Amino acid sequence: MPFLELESNLPASQFSDQLLSKLCCAAASILDKPKERINVTVKPGLLMAIGGSTAPCAQLVVSSIGVVGTAEQNKQHSAKLFEFLTNELGLAPDRILIRFYPIEKWQIGKNGTVMTFL
Positions marked catalytic = 2
- Measured between its terminal Cα atoms, the distance across the chain in Å is 12
| Concatenated DSSP letters of 32-94 | T--GGG-EEEEE-S----BTTB-SS-EEEEEEEESSSSSHHHHHHHHHHHHHHHHHHH---GG
